[in-house]
Amino acid sequence: MTRFIAAFNHGDTAGLDQLIYDYSRYATDPPGEFTSPAPVKRGDLLAYFAQRHQAHERLTLEALQFGGRSANDFTFEFEVTRSADGLGPTPYGGKGAVFCGNPSSALILWAMGREPFLRARLPLYASVAALLLAILAAAAVIVWRRARPKKKGAARAVRPEWIDA
């Protein structure tokens, strides 16, 4: 994963050539939409990667979770931040698979799509939300204290009349 992302980000065609299986599937949404329901040739993917490098596309790995392993491959899920010309840093989630064969491992599947947020950052989002709630609560207490009527002087104790009798 890290070698693939590094080669992708640097436009390293030779490195990508070593990491991509002869016939792989790749999918992403715009910008630079690419969908391959059937496996495509390595050369087609390398040309696409070169085009995306020209558009300054970058991927930043945010989270990686290993899935299962079969006889010849293993699967994984990932979260990345994707950016390119015309696309600010945007969260993407996806799935992938690596073929584990001789002489080395190669990527056979990479499919990613836009996400509303990164699940890997949920604890951070929760901390920010808790901080905002605490600030709002403190502000509400301050406003409430300033808005209530002020008492003039201390109240005198009133003695019931029956005590004097």
74: β partners:
69, 98
- CB contact at 8 A, 108 and 36: no
End-to-end CA distance of the chain: 94
Rg (CA), the chain: 30
What is the value of pTM for the model shown? 0.67
70-100 pLDDT, tens digit per residue, is 778 888 989 999 999 999 999 999 999 988 8
> Would you say 98 and 84 are in contact if contact means Cβ atoms under 8 Å apart?
no
Query: What's the pLDDT tens digit per position in 107-128?
Result: 888 999 888 766 656 555 666 6
Q: Give the dihedral sign, CA 42/47/52/54.
A: positive
Give the number of other Cβ atoms within 10 Å of residue 52's Cβ: 22
